[in-house]
Amino acid sequence: MDHAVALVQAYLQLNGYFTSAEYPIIAGAGRGFRTITDIDILAFRFPSGEPMAKKTRKAPKGLDISGLDSGLAVPVDSIDMIIGEVKEGRVNINSGICDPEVLNTVINRFGQVGDTKRVVQHLLRTGAAEIPPAYSVRLIAFGSFPPGAPVPPCRIVSLGHVLEFLQSYVRKHWSMLRHLQFKDPAFGFLMTMEKARRGGAGRRGRQGVEIVPPIAEPRKNDRRK
């Protein structure tokens, strides 16, 4: 899996989404099949809560959404589908993801949508569309830098923002997360980095073994070169 896609997948999962990375769109071709395009990230979220919701002794009066990233603009009262394009460099939208036939195929993963053509047209025109009675579908582009050329209407989320959210999440919930094992490559690597950041040792270990501690950050008033 692409490193940037893995980062975005971890980000969406922590915001309560079920994800499928590098999702292939396949069409018939003569006697066989061919891949039209790959959707970098396809994600679904149900308005049933967040993974790290606070536990209270009393019955909750409402859904605790304090942990959701406001930059993602999660619709908390509908089932949300994200069709995501991920780039390590500048934000860009591949032509395949804007193909009406591709979007028609992807949106029908919801089931019986109804007027799919209208939904696709609205999605291409505005970057988001509502599907009655309680569904939404959105185009989101992820990248490290702003687009170098015009892109279709969509929400843009920088990979820098994604990384800051993940790091903040790890540090906020460290007391619990540090006891767990993670198979997700991106989130697992962030956990390893946080363990390394928090770790430290003296110059000498037991039996004279040399232990190299973390490099100390230079002080602001340290004028030594």
Helix (H), strand (E), coil (C) string for the chain: CCHHHHHHHHHHHHCCCEEEEEEEEEEEECCEEEEEEEEEEEEEECCCCCCCCCCCCCCCCCCCCCCCCHHHCCCCCCEEEEEEEECCCECCCCHHHHCHHHHHHHHHHHCCCCCHHHHHHHHHHHCEEEECCCEEEEEEEEECECCCCCCCCCEEEEHHHHHHHHHHHHHHCHHHHCCCCCCCHHHHHHHHHHHHHHCCCCCECHHHCECCCCCCCCCCCCCCC
| pTM of the complete model | 0.79
So what's the pLDDT on residue 144? 94
Pick out the chain residues at pLDDT < 50: 51-64, 201-202
So what's the pLDDT on residue 222? 58
So what's the pLDDT on residue 220? 65
